[in-house]
Structure 1
């Protein structure tokens, strides 16, 4: 797997937080999609799709799983009934790898943490991994899903 050291840019995002079992993430995502529809925020050049993964589903109890689903925005959002809030992803030095295939079996993050990091001479940074969901939507087949994974470094 190819790994690049890149600078993830400072990015303003609209976020909906999910805390709980991975299998219930779709409920949170559906709320986020409903909010996006109301706001008409589907421009792939402006509204890039992200997941900020605070916990590891392999080591964290299901009720404590935590992920922020986010889109990049060009202006702050207001208070809303969905609980979508403003956050910022800081500029970060990251290791980047790309995964192609199902988002439920992301191999890039596993490779970065278990194989690349121990031999890289690098150390984990203080921000959780960022998943950039390059292509999303109901017409994207699982085997065609592209996810750029950014592992923050010190």
Structure 2
């Protein structure tokens, strides 16, 4: 069941600058699970557990609009220093301080597209805000297999101008 969303569900927040290590997936969304496996292995090797290091996704492209070869998706983890050995397709990046539209999504990842459509179609138009230069990003607050799919929490941040 899709949740009913209202304009009041979205808050404007100030996101503080954050350093992350990011694995860049490029290519078909169907091959994303392999990138996720590589990212999880790299995190484990560097002792960057979701318990002590925040997890992020950078949404560079809409999979419905990007070509199979151009689609980009970032898998990120909060870091305290740049002293980690980087794996293939991994680099350091900073999520900049920015004013963001913020929404907490609870439930299945399959319903995220509904929340994103609401933000981009309804909320932006109703509030006359414009997207910023940094791409949309998620903070994965709780996710499988530690929690049930219906209890997963994803914080959605849309940087604004």
TM-score by length of 1: 0.92
CA RMSD of aligned residues (A): 1.5
Judge which range, 99-108 or 19-28, deviates more: 99-108
SS at match of 1:51: strand
SS at match of 2:66: coil
Contact kept, 8 Å, 1:125 with 1:152, in 2: the verdict is: yes
Displacement of 1:22 after TM fit? 1.4
How many correspondences in the alignment?
153
Map 1:7-46 → 2, pairs under 5 A: 7-44=14-51, 46=52
For the residues of structure 2 that align with 1:100 and 1:17, how far apart are their CA atoms?
25
Counterpart CA distance in 1 for 2:50 and 2:87 is 22
- Quote the Cα distance in structure 1 between the aligned partners of 2:46 and 2:156: 27
Name the CA distance, whole Å, in 2 between partners of 1:83 and 1:127: 20
From 84, 95, 105, the equivalent of 1:89 is: 95
TM-score by length of 2: 0.88
Distance 1:31 1:112, change over 3 A: same
- Cα contact 1:15–1:71 (8 A) shared by 2: yes
Structure 2, unmatched stretches of 5+, are: none
Stretches of 4+ moved more than 2 A in 1?
A: 77-84
Deviation, structure 1 residue 43: 5.0
